[in-house]
Structure 1
């Protein structure tokens, strides 16, 4: 029989197809109720709403796991408003995925992607959460998630910790939630998308998006020009006397948390909670609901802070942000939409421009720009940035454009 030789390119295609099929199968197998998301906080809650604040619940003594033994607690970064703080995490039987290395090959990245998406969640695990002198026990839902709320002990401390612990047959496992508490003197908050707003994803080009997602890692992914400078200056504010909180709201699944969190750190982009999506809620409606519900929850939890909204033209950010501005005109300072295809006029541009021109945003300024410098110029004009901060951002954009090879 004649042997068939499969080239490296063919293997790459086969693996990509297999991974995409696995993701689709995993997402399709998760429960969806009429295509909508569960009621509640899209940023901190799952379908197991009773996992929150079960402080008086007592876990059964002597509980041990003989199968699906917990191997890790994924402790997502939490946030607080000075009165309360919120944390969310997940308990998995998978081994921890190691941090990306400069020496990682495409095959190393493929294996990490497979491990990242083929999660082995553990349902019904009791998690002990400790914050200061307070302890709470919460139980994971059917996808391994848990979440909880605590009263803040010290509102002046910007970074606080909540320790998560799970008792296992072979000993305890622990993880620490870093919690970012908003500065009491903050003037506004930044709510930003991630894909093609902060990080190059190529979401409008499906094959490119798949290649970047599965064959790359946090070290190979590239930020948009000037993003680090823009977000640093916004967090510092025009007078530099207080830190404004930043929240990264994305339709990416929680499976991508480690990549995005490491990416922000490597590229010196200001840290902030990553509020990602439970892929059990699929479809355009749930995609829109996730961002809208998260936005509303942040407004509710930070009632004194107006918001600066940053997104891109490749998805539905402009329409969603305009709708939210119409609903909360006094809470939105400005809307900034990054052009995903800056070298051509496209239907994406036309859709955003139509929203800008028809006044859908109810008087809230909306800007479509090709880079961070375009945003900074407008932000300076409405007092969000100082002239010196705008110049710093312009220099950053110029420097990074000279180095950028993404579009070549």
Structure 2
């Protein structure tokens, strides 16, 4: 069956809500549902190429059903755009947040020639027992890409992207332990999503912001689950072969905009931001810290590339001026020690965690 013969399926992305609003997106595609368990190399390449060669379904009517905490179901209508995306930004009437972070279920409905179709979507509801959230990059922060070692490394990365299943990709060493400590525990959920794995809600909610294309959503979620990493809403990009998506400056702009939206949506939360030095995360995070005083609890930057540039040195000063603790190091075991030292501290301990960050930064500079 060709792409043009297949009926459109809907891929729900992870949503999130607060007491006054709920946001969730989905995409209508005509490619087959992905499988990430192939062993033959040609099947791996075919699966990944098929995933990238997806045909979007525009102008598809989509219905979203949302059930309130008191059991009342509300119905919302949407239509996919030219790229197959449909977004719902719904006003809620003071819905209470759960005491602990959890995933909630919504329903997407649409119709094909085969009849009515349905897919469950999942919405993260941060608990009231924490005032922290974690915002993380993906490439070279949790999954190694090899893009920092010249042309050969870039070519090797394309081989990984086109011929390796998620379970075969290399996680950044120590990320599972480090993120497990940041997560603060949690309980297993009973929800099964696009990637075919149960979603686990952690005490401190996680959000991911990346410049990777939306086509990789299922691939990345599967990778996170196979590595035992916290799963959360993922902000990706709709790629095009143009300056807007391929230019180096667009990486930082996309991330700053996405993080600012999260901060505005959860004004009661302070965030810890985690990234690396391969796509301008230090600079992007510095602008977030400067524009959102008191909202950033700490910044962690994994050093995967060269020594900091003058622009990055200016970013470090901007972060220091904002009074935000900064950790820079090549291995997360050092970040783990720093995390234990700052103890996810509250505002009253700001001087101590800033001092800890300065000591750690001096150690990193001396290496």
- Asked if TM exceeds 0.5, the reply is yes
User: Deviation at 1:338?
Assistant: 0.5
User: Deviation at 1:365?
Assistant: 1.8
Q: Quick check: 2:63–2:78 contact (8 Å CA) kept in 1?
A: yes
SS in 1 for 2:251: helix
SS in 2 for 1:228: helix
Counterpart position of 2:355: none
2:310 and 2:326 map into 1 onto residues whose CA distance is: 13
Counterpart position of 1:84: 21
Counterpart position of 2:130: 186
Counterpart position of 1:297: 261
Q: Quick check: 1:89–1:146 contact (8 Å CA) kept in 2?
A: yes
| Greater shift in the superposed pair: 374-383 or 293-302 | 374-383
User: Deviation at 1:146?
Assistant: 0.4
Counterpart position of 2:42: 107
Counterpart position of 1:259: 219
Which protein is bigger by CA-based radius of gyration?
1
1:144 and 1:165 map into 2 onto residues whose CA distance is: 15
Q: Quick check: 1:190–1:244 contact (8 Å CA) kept in 2?
A: yes
1:254 and 1:319 map into 2 onto residues whose CA distance is: 24
After superposition, the C-alpha distances for 1:313-364 in whole angstroms (9 at most, x for unaligned) are 11100111112111113111111110114xxxx34x4558724664554231
Picking from 69, 86, 89, the partner of 1:146 is 86
User: Deviation at 1:153?
Assistant: 4.9
* Alignment map for 1:200-279 (pairs within 5 Å): 200-204=144-148, 205-236=153-184, 243-279=203-239
1:329 and 1:318 map into 2 onto residues whose CA distance is: 17
Counterpart position of 2:281: 317
After superposition, the C-alpha distances for 1:185-243 in whole angstroms (9 at most, x for unaligned) are 21211000000001111132311221211111111012111212211221217xxxx81
2:209 and 2:175 map into 1 onto residues whose CA distance is: 16
Determine whether 1:198 maps to 2:142: yes
Where structure 2 has 5 or more consecutive residues not aligned to the other structure, the ranges are 68-72, 186-201, 346-367
Q: Quick check: 2:105–2:121 contact (8 Å CA) kept in 1?
A: yes
Q: Quick check: 1:82–1:155 contact (8 Å CA) kept in 2?
A: yes
Determine whether 1:155 maps to 2:97: yes
Counterpart position of 2:360: none
1:278 and 1:122 map into 2 onto residues whose CA distance is: 15
User: Deviation at 1:246?
Assistant: 0.6
2:158 and 2:326 map into 1 onto residues whose CA distance is: 30
SS in 2 for 1:299: helix
Counterpart position of 1:135: 75
Picking from 119, 123, 133, the partner of 2:58 is 123
SS in 2 for 1:212: helix
2:50 and 2:117 map into 1 onto residues whose CA distance is: 20
The change in CA–CA distance for 1:354 and 1:74 in structure 2 (over 3 A counts) is same
User: Deviation at 1:160?
Assistant: 0.7
2:253 and 2:184 map into 1 onto residues whose CA distance is: 30
Q: Quick check: 1:313–1:352 contact (8 Å CA) kept in 2?
A: no
Q: RMSD value over aligned CA atoms?
A: 2.1
Q: Quick check: 1:69–1:168 contact (8 Å CA) kept in 2?
A: no
Picking from 114, 117, 120, the partner of 1:176 is 120
User: Deviation at 1:68?
Assistant: 6.3
1:258 and 1:85 map into 2 onto residues whose CA distance is: 22
User: Deviation at 1:154?
Assistant: 5.3
Aligned residues: 308
Q: Which has the higher strand share?
A: 2
Normalising by structure 2, we get a TM-score of: 0.79
SS in 2 for 1:219: helix
Q: Quick check: 1:335–1:366 contact (8 Å CA) kept in 2?
A: yes
2:272 and 2:295 map into 1 onto residues whose CA distance is: 9
Q: Quick check: 2:23–2:89 contact (8 Å CA) kept in 1?
A: yes
